[in-house]
Amino acid sequence: MTLAVRIDDTCGRIRAAMDAAGRSDRCDLELAVKTRTPETCREAAQVLADRGLPVLLGHNRVQEARATVEAIREVPGAQVHLIGPLQSNKVNQALSAVDLIETVDSTDLVDRLDHRVGRRFPVFVQVNTSGEPSKHGCAPQDVPRIVAAVEMAAHLYLHGFMTVGLHSPDERAVREGYAHLRRIRDEAAERLCTSDGDLALSMGMSADLEWAVEEGATIVRVGTAVFGPRPASG
């Protein structure tokens, strides 16, 4: 199957889940491009552009993002998000390579980013909703402090929340994590006196995007369903 066919199939899955949930708002496809070549990234970005869809690519590693950003930028309107953890010594590199950071999970990182960025810059707060110690993201109880730090920041602004779901076939348990992120988003929207719809929910991947869409995802991050299995070393 070609990349275009798999992208169309994935969009079909998103649409079907939106319909099943009775949703009339939108959910965008973000391509998770870790380990993919610049050529593949560019080709996939072009398919999204040809469909009139937002061109949204998520990179896990700053170095990798820098290597492919140039290829992606040939596609007008392409947006690159950082979806992997950001080490403090990579802050400058990240800010020069990506349009949005989805993985802000501490007030320390908020401060570092804000001191370096020098322009208005959107961030998502990443929350560990599954409680698995191996997962990145702040604890749910730390969200208000981090959101407050973003609000105090001179340049950063809160654009949404992100989580990596529980890796499990247990639908109820996985969905509970996504529902939790949605409650966190709704509470933040209320505190910030903004509407829920102004704050994105980035959740759901190849295996479980339907569950995430049904719990309110506005961005799903999909890798293997579009690009095939990753090399084992990736």
Nearer to ligand PLP (CB atom), residue 138 or residue 225: 225
**Shortest Cβ contact with ligand PLP: which residue?**
223
205 binds ligand PLP (CB under 6 A): yes
Place of tokens 């870790």: 34
Assign 3-class secondary structure to 47-72: HHHHCCCCCEEEECCHHHHHHHHHHH
* 57 close to 31: Cβ distance less than 8 angstroms: yes
60 binds ligand PLP (CB under 6 A): yes
Nearer to ligand PLP (CB atom), residue 67 or residue 205: 205
Nearer to ligand PLP (CB atom), residue 53 or residue 207: 207
222 binds ligand PLP (CB under 6 A): yes
Tell me which stretch binds ligand PLP (CB under 6 A): 10-18, 49-57, 165-173, 216-224. Answer: 216-224
**Least CB distance to ligand PLP at residue 222 (A):** 5
Alpha-helical (H) ranges within the chain are: 3-20, 38-50, 62-73, 91-97, 107-117, 143-152, 171-191, 209-214, 224-227
Q: How far apart are CA 129 and CA 29, in angstroms?
A: 21
Nearer to ligand PLP (CB atom), residue 83 or residue 97: 83
From candidates 57, 83, 100, 125, binder to ligand PLP by CB under 6 A: 83
Exposed, middle or buried by CB within 10 Å (0-12, 13-18, 19+), for 232? exposed
Q: Which of residues 156-195 bind ligand PLP (CB under 6 A)?
A: 164
* Backbone torsions φ then ψ of 70, nearest 5 degrees: -60, -45
> Which structure tokens are listed for 93?
């590199």
Q: How far apart are CA 178 and CA 213, in angstroms?
A: 9
Q: For 142, which DSSP code?
A: G
201 binds ligand PLP (CB under 6 A): no
What's the distance, CA 190 to chain centroid?
Answer: 22
Tell me which stretch binds ligand PLP (CB under 6 A): 66-74, 113-121, 210-218, 221-229. Answer: 221-229
Nearer to ligand PLP (CB atom), residue 2 or residue 195: 2
Tell me which stretch binds ligand PLP (CB under 6 A): 3-11, 17-25, 107-115, 202-210. Answer: 202-210
Residue type, 45: A
Interface ranges with ligand PLP (CB under 6 A): 32, 34, 60, 83-84, 164, 205-207, 221-225
